[in-house]
Structure 1
Amino acid sequence: MTMDCLEDVLGLVAQEASALVDLLSEQDDQVLEKIFTLMDPSALEKIGSLVNKKERASAIVEYFKTSDHVACRSFFESIYQYCEEIPFYLETTLVSIAGYAAGTNFTHTSDNDDASTSQNVKRPRIDHLQRYTEALKVMIRENHARVTQAVVREIHLNDTWVYVKQKNPPRGKDRTLPPQSYLDSFEGEESDRKVSVESLLKTPGRILMLLGQAGSGKTLLVHCLGHSWSENTFPSIHLLFLLEFRHLNLISQDLSLKELLFLFYPAREDDDEQSTTVFDFIRSNPQKVCFILDGYDEFRGKLTNPTELRDITDPNISVPMADLISGLCSRKILPECTMLVTCRPRDVSDMFGSPGFIACELQGFDQSAVREYAEQFFRKKGEEFQKKAINLLMENRHFLSMSHVPGLCHICCVCVDYLFSSDGILEHQLPRSLTELYMQILMAYLKRFSGRGTCNENLLKMNRTKVIEINQLALNGLEKSTLVFTENEVSPELQEFGVRSGILSCVMLKHQDGSSGCGFTFMHLTMQEFLAALHLMTSQNFTERQLKKKLNLKSRWTTKIDPKTVFTDSLTLYVCGLAADTCTSSLILLKGSEGASAWVQKRQGAVHDVLRGLAVSASQTGPKMVEWCRCVYETQDAELAKAICSRPQFELRNIRLNIIDMDSLAFVTTAADQAICLDFGGCSIDLECLETLPSFKNVDHLIFRSRKYDDKFAEALSAFLSKLKSLQQLDFISSALTDVGAAKLSRALKDCPKITHLNVSDNSLKDEGMRKIVETLSRLPNILSILMGKNSISTEGIITLVESVAACTSLKELHVEYVNSFAFSRAIKRSAFPSHKRLTPWGEC
């Protein structure tokens, strides 16, 4: 283990105990005699009675586990000096613990010339590895500084959370593999279990996929992980390599793993011995190596199916980049290394179910995180400005919902700063959609370039040529799956405009010949998508037919047969948003030609036509319906929203819904001419998303079905049930509801007099929970049916239930857990249950 200092040498003895025992059991008696001189006579007497060499080695290690730090250090020093055939990774650990610095001589006095000769052979190898490791850490820190230079909010990896999403078990031939004992206990748990980002690298040897939508902070977090490694936070990882797919896209020739690593993290110039030593260590100790690959969704290719890989096991062989990365992820190359890949959620299937594969999903900001971020962003603006800006951000529903994504939170803060920039007076209409927000951001960047005191109309007129040029660059990049542009692809004038305005960022590039150069990226992928959409809506080069082909709804479900699509998630959203009336004037200014008004309105009409056509399609699945609602929400067209609500029920299954999704659903359902049923089955919904429920004006039936929905969820839901004025039916089924959650729901239902049907079947309710629900019936004058089957209610509890509901005049139907006929007869006789009411055991439903 290479490290600058060691805080717990005793802990290291325990950590490397197995390797130390194996090493000592292979040594000559003369070597063990040297170590015996460090031990107490009483311990030596016990060890002397052992005949088996492995047992003696084990006893030696056990002795030093409980010794002091001084004795432990001497133990490591003796092993390093006298032992032969020390594994390379253990050798680096020993030299670090024993206290040697790179480039110094071993100072322990030896009476054995062979030992001294051995030291002289070991020393250069270790020096090469130590020097490279230190240089690697410096490069990792420099990259971290570049990525975090404009970060507003300090990142704490131990307090940043991800949710374990899924586990892919071994498939096909891999089913014969032995269980991997190094996997953490959280692998295979339900997808909503939280773990810290820091914990992801605590256990080596795993393949991890870190999922998150654009702007969720994946790139920032992996660079923070790299920096944390450079500060010795992950002692089991000796070498860490962080590569970005956007840079790998620039490499067209085949490379070996060695060539790839030393291209981006080169060894000392003209030092082949160092690169050879380092790569030998990597090959011999893959469990000590970690690869972080950031942005698979930005990769122009698709990982090769491992079954199609040939001659890939040798890391010295040059292969296409997709094959090389696939070989690492499928454990055909360096099978025990740690892999962490970041991407968008829909690309998770490309991992082909690698053994030990774990997917974790980043979550967005909650309201407290939004406030904390805004406080940091506006801290230099003065207390009055800061307070006013934060109040706007927190009190405006649209700003707050969009701020749940960290990247969008930053953009919202920039927008708020821009809106208050003119004498502290809010002069512009507040954005109601993501597209309107980005239009304001564009104006803010143009004002940064042109200077203050310029109105929006003049900003677009003054910079029209440059905006058109950068829009075209954005679209060309998306069509070619390009995020990083070389100096030759961006004119000098556009470079100046883009960098000065803040739309473009300058980055250092590493070319495949090893040379470095300057490149340019958009300040964020979402900004590139918005500008590309702006070009589609204003360019004469695209016909309406071509435009319509660009409009497609992306499902949030993933399948293994899906081709890897272009890495854009929001292009369609922004095109739809630009079809809103509020964007018409800006599009006309950018179009700029005679007859621009009619041309722009015709193009906007074409977008609306496509969305109306999708509305009547019976093939739209729940996930695509959510995307459709997002698109309609961007247009802010209530008449268009009404078209989708011809279907009375929205079935949403096994997707994660965020606040913007919920706002979009509310916008669409509010436009309906009929009552709507929302059926959430297996969807992951953050509790703060439930705050949007009062906006669902026409929803009369809510269904929640999943073990994810527990007492905490029921409590959060209870706070808003009474605000759903149209609610008549509530199903909280096949969930994790207990008596505690039932009590919360019951209290809330007392303020919902329109409720006619209540279904709490297939939960974990007992007699107390049932009693709480029954007590609510007197406050529900319109209740017609109650379903309580498949719970844990006792026979006596069911009898009590039957007796209690018999007096409820409005109730027509009761479904309960299966009980025997004697119990039913007894209940009916005791309660005088009216014959016109239907009483059904669950087994007969």
Structure 2
Amino acid sequence: MVEIDACSSCLTALRVLRVSLVDELEGQIDSLLEVLVSQEVFTRDDREDVLCQPGPRARVRKVLDILECKGEEATKIFFTVRSHHQNPTSQCPSSDYNKVQQKHKDVLRRRSESMLFYNSRHGEKVLFSEHYVNLVLVDGHQGLENKRHEVLTFGQKRLLLQQKSPLQKKITPSQLFSRRTGKRPVKKVLVMGVAGIGKTVLVQKILFDFGGSNDYLSFDFVLHLNFRDLNLIDKPTSLRELVLRKNRHLVKELDRILANDDKLLIILDGFDEFRHYRSCNADVFVTEPEEEAGVTEILGSLLQGELLPNASVMLTSRPTAISHVPVGCIDRFVLIAGFSFTEAQDFFLRYFEDTALADCMFSVVSANELMLTHTYIPAFCNIVCCILKESKILGAESPKTMTDIYMQYLVALLHSHTQVRTEACLKDPKAGSIQQLSEDVLKLGRLAFQRLMEHQTLFYGSDRDVAALEGCSLVSTFLDKTIAQEPGCTEEVFSFAHLTIQEFFAALYCAVTDQPLPDALQSKANPAEHTSNGDLDLFSRFLSGVLSERNSSFLSRKVGLCCLKEKVELYRQKVITDLKMLCENGTHILNSLHCFFEQQDPSSASKVEPNMLRVNVSDETLSPMDYNAIKYFLNLTKGRIFELDLTGTGVNGDSLRGIQSLLPRCERLWLGDNNLDMDAIQVIADTLRVSDNITHLGLGWSNIADEELEALSNAIRVKRRLQELWMEGNRVSYKGLFSLSDLTPFPLKNIVAIWNDLYDPEPESLCSQESIAVNFTDDEMWDEWGKWVLQRCEVSSNEKLVTVLRNVCNTSIDCVEDQRAKTFYNQLSQLIKKRIECCTEDDLCKKLKKFESILNI
């Protein structure tokens, strides 16, 4: 309770303490008002004026305004009443409050008792308590970046989390709002995760546990708002009305619930699905639950603490949208990392409900690296289980590619959900039903394709394209449906069970119809000139896989849909042409490698035949699937690899060992901007001992020190083929450089060691070594290095650009006098200005402006 100075007048104290009094009295203003009336400080008219105000905080302000008009004596009585008036929220809750609380728990329990996440047959009830599998939650901001397609980066992210397990704190749902030692209370939590990783399941877990009165949730009430529902609201409303839309049972006690906001948890699920998520970081606020405004203003006020400042808020989102969250108000960032190996096994057991069968099926998955990788994502895990459940009927071989998995998933669900129709079609193709089945698949494909091109994942029942699905027997099989309630009406909201399923259906539609390829995939004279943001990467891979001879034949046999022959050959030729061009240009090639991999046509490799084989996959955090695609292509090629660029890809000892057989074929091997420990350096050293080809090695900003450099120098002496060693931005001292002194100027013609730990006086023996550069003083060196950096920056996303700038915009630029260096930093500054002009993400824009200011000092 706020105290006043006894020497101050009560009116002065009222003005000084006004802001704190609003906070203090918000939860007890109604009862305090009655006392003021009974003491004859306020009249009945005064009370009516106060009660007409929208919300408790506005009522407190009105009381204070009236007191100022009434003068010193009335204000003195107010402070006396206030000092003796107990806060009703500190008393035991009333019986009505307790009854409504129990009613709310019963409602939440009923709503969440069945699984909402996985497809099930119509009328089938899958109990949440029997099928929920624990999710791995990691505390801390992981800086997830949507570089190509967020699902594609997940495999490597998952592995990185496993490797960093001692450093990353894993938490349980019950710890989401627990105070961390020495830090402020946790009130606002952002839960991030890729599509299908379990964000909505985590929300259901919290609601289910609260409904079951689990003691670990120390809240009186948990309120759940879904952004799919909020999308339907296009007129001013209030937080009070938003809550009551699906919780009319709270109407009698809602004012007390909202006033007691320190015991309230509000869950906002699916921020990335909100139509207006880019507008929530605004500076227009509401402060009262009854105050009407747009949904974005209400949610922004709630997140930033202007509305219900003491309430706890949990926001879930895919990484694609988190840059639009006002992160300054977030107290805790949590990443959902999906299933661990053990939890994936648990999922299989719950899915098949038979220990022996589940073990058998999981052993099949464990033998297939592609399928095993996918089981870490719960939605994929469900897809794989569905395939295995129907595998005896399909008689299908083990899938080798992403398209194989989804093709088998399509057929598996057709068997599972339309078994009678499908069997009749397969026995008698002339029966006519197979034609209807194919038409239904095409209807879904058309919807998937059109909305993918519009970047939409939610489809409303009132939309014309959705209405065209009426009577389609496969809607409930592949689409999830929820009901969004509006006052006086309801709206059906559809989405594919998983984002990647929409992309698969879109590719299928494009492959079997005369639908032209999207503009972003049209053939270019030089594909390197077309920079993609990655939105259609997975679509193009699926399209390549569907148009392969093996899968187009499978599709024709199982579904009765035939790919257009001209498209099959056209796309095959496009993959070959693009791959050849990108190899020769040294431009980013990873997605083209995946398209080649999805085709599974070894004979195509001989048709690529680039004049110079360059494989650039830099600045992508590589997953096991990425390495598979790289190895598949390079194992089919012969001879020397002119360049392999793995800069900033997250490589380590294990991943380097996986491709070690390819490394000796490289002439130029770039491994910089990776955290290379001694284990990784040993793999590189072993490669140098046997390779007759490696002449250039890049290890800049890889965290190596003298010990690692000594291991490399010993390996270089074996073949003595290495001519250039780039290791800028590391921890090497002159002692480490001395281990290379006998290797200069032959074979090492050039050693770049700028921005290392070279603070001691330079040994005299190294002063004469022209091959060793500890500062950029050579024009040709600046040209080569600057060109490489600018190329990386031009093709990098804004988030990756910030990472590169942290390395190259170090303090040494303050003392750069070389004209070439000045030219380089001027070019870099111009590039940053262009990015700032089109940057829509406030946080990244601030970081880019910081680097611009550094360069312009």
Deviation at 1:600, TM superposition (A): 1.7
Partner of 1:416: 388
Whole-angstrom CA distance in 1 between matches of 2:298 and 2:588: 34
Deviation at 1:581, TM superposition (A): 1.8
Letter paired with 1:304: S
1:433 lines up with 2:401 in the alignment: yes
Letter paired with 2:626: D
Partner of 2:825: none
Q: Would the aligned equivalents of 2:653 and 2:679 in 1 still touch at CA under 8 Å?
A: no
Q: Secondary structure at the match of 1:511?
A: strand
Gaps of at least 5 residues in structure 1 are 1-17, 27-81, 96-121, 169-185, 554-561, 686-703, 705-712
Partner of 1:351: 325
Q: Would the aligned equivalents of 1:205 and 1:336 in 2 still touch at CA under 8 Å?
A: no
2:193 equivalent among 200, 206, 212? 212
1:772 lines up with 2:748 in the alignment: no
Q: 1:294 to 1:577 in 2, by over 3 A?
A: farther
Q: Secondary structure at the match of 1:721?
A: coil
Whole-angstrom CA distance in 1 between matches of 2:536 and 2:698: 41
* Root-mean-square deviation over aligned CA pairs: 5.3
Whole-angstrom CA distance in 1 between matches of 2:409 and 2:427: 15
Q: 1:655 to 1:365 in 2, by over 3 A?
A: farther
Whole-angstrom CA distance in 1 between matches of 2:350 and 2:622: 28
Q: 1:256 to 1:155 in 2, by over 3 A?
A: same
640-649 vs 359-368, which moves further: 640-649
Q: Would the aligned equivalents of 1:782 and 1:810 in 2 still touch at CA under 8 Å?
A: yes
Partner of 2:101: 130
1:548 equivalent among 518, 529, 532? 518
Q: Would the aligned equivalents of 2:656 and 2:680 in 1 still touch at CA under 8 Å?
A: no
Alignment of 1:45-84 (within 5 A): none
1:201 equivalent among 177, 185, 188? 177
Partner of 1:602: 566
1:582 equivalent among 550, 553, 564? 550
Q: 1:213 to 1:235 in 2, by over 3 A?
A: closer
Q: Would the aligned equivalents of 1:468 and 1:590 in 2 still touch at CA under 8 Å?
A: no
Alignment of 1:43-192 (within 5 A): 85-87=85-87, 90-91=89-90, 95=92, 123=94, 126-127=97-98, 130-131=101-102, 133-135=104-106, 137-138=108-109, 141-142=112-113, 149=127, 154-157=132-135, 159-161=136-138, 164-166=141-143
> Per-residue displacement from partner, 1:556-584 (whole Å, max 9, x unpaired)?
xxxxxx9xx99998545434432222233
1:511 lines up with 2:485 in the alignment: yes
1:292 equivalent among 221, 245, 267? 267
Partner of 1:450: 419
Whole-angstrom CA distance in 1 between matches of 2:522 and 2:98: 56
Q: Would the aligned equivalents of 1:375 and 1:390 in 2 still touch at CA under 8 Å?
A: no
Partner of 1:73: none
386-395 vs 476-485, which moves further: 476-485
2:230 equivalent among 245, 248, 253? 248
Q: Would the aligned equivalents of 2:676 and 2:702 in 1 still touch at CA under 8 Å?
A: yes
Letter paired with 2:486: Q
Whole-angstrom CA distance in 1 between matches of 2:676 and 2:597: 33
Deviation at 1:813, TM superposition (A): 4.8
Whole-angstrom CA distance in 2 between matches of 1:790 and 1:550: 37
With normalisation by structure 2, the TM-score equals 0.61
Partner of 1:476: 447
Q: Would the aligned equivalents of 2:270 and 2:315 in 1 still touch at CA under 8 Å?
A: yes
Q: Would the aligned equivalents of 1:257 and 1:324 in 2 still touch at CA under 8 Å?
A: yes
Whole-angstrom CA distance in 2 between matches of 1:767 and 1:821: 14
Partner of 1:110: none
Q: Would the aligned equivalents of 1:256 and 1:319 in 2 still touch at CA under 8 Å?
A: yes
Partner of 2:641: 675
Q: Secondary structure at the match of 2:248?
A: coil
Partner of 1:659: 624
Deviation at 1:814, TM superposition (A): 4.8
1:464 lines up with 2:435 in the alignment: yes
1:721 lines up with 2:660 in the alignment: yes
Q: Would the aligned equivalents of 1:314 and 1:333 in 2 still touch at CA under 8 Å?
A: yes
Whole-angstrom CA distance in 2 between matches of 1:725 and 1:210: 43
Deviation at 1:289, TM superposition (A): 3.3
Q: Would the aligned equivalents of 1:484 and 1:521 in 2 still touch at CA under 8 Å?
A: yes
Whole-angstrom CA distance in 2 between matches of 1:754 and 1:609: 31
Q: Secondary structure at the match of 1:291?
A: strand
Deviation at 1:644, TM superposition (A): 11
> Per-residue displacement from partner, 1:611-664 (whole Å, max 9, x unpaired)?
678769999999985445444443445687876978855555655443333333
Whole-angstrom CA distance in 1 between matches of 2:757 and 2:594: 44
Letter paired with 1:130: Q
Q: Secondary structure at the match of 1:165?
A: coil
Deviation at 1:670, TM superposition (A): 5.2
Alignment of 1:804-815 (within 5 A): 805=743, 810-814=747-751
Q: 1:471 to 1:776 in 2, by over 3 A?
A: same
Deviation at 1:737, TM superposition (A): 4.5
Deviation at 1:465, TM superposition (A): 0.8
Whole-angstrom CA distance in 2 between matches of 1:496 and 1:519: 17
Q: Secondary structure at the match of 2:194?
A: coil
Q: 1:474 to 1:482 in 2, by over 3 A?
A: farther
Letter paired with 1:127: N
Partner of 2:239: 257
Whole-angstrom CA distance in 1 between matches of 2:449 and 2:248: 31
With normalisation by structure 1, the TM-score equals 0.62
> Per-residue displacement from partner, 1:407-464 (whole Å, max 9, x unpaired)?
2232123223322347xxxx33433332232221222122222259949955987443
Partner of 1:279: 258
1:399 lines up with 2:371 in the alignment: yes
Q: 1:152 to 1:520 in 2, by over 3 A?
A: farther
Deviation at 1:244, TM superposition (A): 2.9
Q: Secondary structure at the match of 2:142?
A: strand
Q: Would the aligned equivalents of 1:211 and 1:360 in 2 still touch at CA under 8 Å?
A: yes
Q: Secondary structure at the match of 1:772?
A: helix
> Per-residue displacement from partner, 1:705-731 (whole Å, max 9, x unpaired)?
xxxxxxxx3465356535644245444
Whole-angstrom CA distance in 2 between matches of 1:631 and 1:605: 14
Q: 1:800 to 1:621 in 2, by over 3 A?
A: closer
Deviation at 1:238, TM superposition (A): 3.9
Deviation at 1:512, TM superposition (A): 0.8
Whole-angstrom CA distance in 2 between matches of 1:494 and 1:229: 39
Letter paired with 1:201: F
Partner of 2:299: 325
Whole-angstrom CA distance in 1 between matches of 2:86 and 2:604: 73
Q: Would the aligned equivalents of 1:789 and 1:815 in 2 still touch at CA under 8 Å?
A: yes
1:223 lines up with 2:229 in the alignment: no
Q: 1:638 to 1:482 in 2, by over 3 A?
A: same
Q: Secondary structure at the match of 2:113?
A: helix
Q: 1:483 to 1:222 in 2, by over 3 A?
A: same
